[in-house]
Structure 1
Amino acid sequence: MTKPETDRRFANTLARGLSLLRAFRASDDGLTHSELAERTGLPNSTVSRLTFTLSELGFLSHAGRMNRYRLGPAALALGNVAAASVSFVEVGHQILQDLADQTGTLVSLAVRDGEKVMLAKTWRPVGAASIWLEPGHRIPVFGSSSGRAIVAALDDTRFQAMNPSDALCNFRSHGYDQLIAQGFTIAPPETRYSTTVNAVAVPFHAQEFGEPVAFSCGALPEALTDDRMCNDVGPALRDSVRELERITGRSPALVRRG
């Protein structure tokens, strides 16, 4: 949940600086001031001050080519430290790559990021030539299978801290029922945030984050039909996550409610 700017404990300048770092995506060939301002919603003058500071600290680099900024060595080091501390990602790499190859889908790890979920890691089928969603891409909680899996497994206190609408409460409740009945979630067609991607998701208890994350399988609707999600890909994803839970000694993410 994003802290309100009126909270005296909330450091607005730090939040704005971090929003610049979060604006970068894996496919970017650097970003200009204008592009950073567009992605973050910050004024150009603020972006200019923040990029100078972050460059001085090594979190951004600026080689002068076309006035584009890139993530710098300090950001790379921090990312490597973060990745190394999340052990289940490395342990599960082969399981998830095999799942991507077996199903012909993009397998993703999604984490909650305020009112959205962010793809933190992806596994592509070997030989896939098309451009797929990439790490750093953010999708809505409401209307995505990953978002549904996360909020369905999220404890009540954390969920209520999101100030959920009635629609999100219903979205979560039906996702919980899906997890109990079949072990995976699918966003209903009428709420799907995109008409170009279908996906099925399963929550996973990430003790490193203190809350569930979601693994998902996604593809174009013509390749990943609702029938295939329910009868083929969904069960395969569920079984892969169960295997990852087994070898990492993690408890299931879903806690049954009374």
Structure 2
Amino acid sequence: MTEQNDPRFATTLARGLSVLRAFRVTDDGLSNAEIAQRTGLPKSTVSRLTFTLRELGYLVQSPRDDRFRPGPTLVAVGHVAAASLSFLVPAHELMQDLADDTGTLVVLAVRDADKLVLIRTWRPRRVASIWLEVGQRIPLQPFSSWRAFIAATSPAEIDRIADELLPDAQALHAMMDHRPQAHNELAQRGFVSTPAGGWTSAAYNAVSVPFRSSNLAEPVVFTCGALPREAPIERMESEVGPQLATAVRTLERLTGQAPGLIRTEA
């Protein structure tokens, strides 16, 4: 039984949260029509949800343009959530140094349904053109971040994810075909990359390493990425990947966390 078919599932709450997830760092506010387009909800439903969220302080509405923006209550909730991820404090210096040393963008992604959403980015100080922002979502494709996530999940976690109502369940099954190879790459090299021809629409080269926090039910993923002209895949695999793996292993030691890789296959 999927969560949406469970009588305990609060559909209205889920829709309200989908409205909040529609906002991105680069947005200068969103109209009801834009929120409806991003969430797939009817505009009339969005209007009721944004009214309620505004009244509760999760959204604010500007009188100058009538657009909605994150409100103080949402900001406060975000700070509480961030504070619970204690590994972010030691991760900051490690990942900023990694970004500067490699000239790549370092990102931290967590799973949100059938997407990986970026919750932190570390930009190299000497590189001007960076293309990913906090809040952006990575689709379920054989990209390095998803391969690292799938390789690090336990069989029980995979079953739970598969039970959710994903927009494209076939994509998850296709990713599972990559799991043995990705698992071996993590065990042998300490990182994974996007396989040749694995995602032809990829605009950048990337390597990824999973990380497990005792405060989270699933692994998260650290990724280094760069445009091909700035970092050919050969350099990403020979230099950047090992440096990322070392940074994540250091973070594990500093925080007393278990390795992100599940060492035994079921």
TM-score by length of 1: 0.95
Question: What is the one-letter code of the residue matched to 1:33?
Answer: N
Question: What is the one-letter code of the residue matched to 2:194?
Answer: A
1:43 corresponds in structure 2 to 42
- Say if 2:225 is the partner of 1:226: no
Q: What displacement does 1:140 show?
A: 1.8
1:77 corresponds in structure 2 to 76
1:237 corresponds in structure 2 to 244
* Aligned positions of 1:27-38 closer than 5 A: 27-38=26-37
Q: What displacement does 1:86 show?
A: 0.5
Question: What is the one-letter code of the residue matched to 2:250?
Answer: E
Question: What is the one-letter code of the residue matched to 1:69?
Answer: F
Q: What displacement does 1:4 show?
A: 4.0
2:165 corresponds in structure 1 to none
**What's the RMSD between the two structures over aligned residues?**
1.6
- For residues 157 and 262 of structure 2, the distance between their equivalents in structure 1, rounded to whole angstroms, comes to 14
In structure 2, runs of 5+ residues without a counterpart are: 163-168
Seq. identity, %: 51
Secondary structure of the structure 2 residue equivalent to 1:66: coil
- For residues 256 and 200 of structure 2, the distance between their equivalents in structure 1, rounded to whole angstroms, comes to 34
Q: What displacement does 1:223 show?
A: 1.7
2:202 corresponds in structure 1 to 195
Alpha-carbon displacement from aligned partner over 1:200-234 (angstroms, at most 9, x marks no partner): 00000122112211100001122222211110000
- Say if 2:216 is the partner of 1:217: no
Secondary structure of the structure 2 residue equivalent to 1:31: coil
Q: What displacement does 1:193 show?
A: 6.2
- For residues 217 and 161 of structure 2, the distance between their equivalents in structure 1, rounded to whole angstroms, comes to 16
1:108 corresponds in structure 2 to 107
* Aligned positions of 1:136-175 closer than 5 A: 136-163=135-162, 165=170, 166-175=173-182
Alignment size in residue pairs: 257
- For residues 70 and 193 of structure 1, the distance between their equivalents in structure 2, rounded to whole angstroms, comes to 35
**In terms of mean alpha carbon deviation, does 158-167 or 171-180 score higher?**
158-167
Alpha-carbon displacement from aligned partner over 1:13-38 (angstroms, at most 9, x marks no partner): 00000001001111111111111011
1:253 corresponds in structure 2 to 260
- For residues 6 and 241 of structure 1, the distance between their equivalents in structure 2, rounded to whole angstroms, comes to 38
TM-score by length of 2: 0.92
2:4 corresponds in structure 1 to 5
Structure 1 residues 3, 83: CA separation in 2 closer, same or farther (over 3 Å shift)?
A: farther
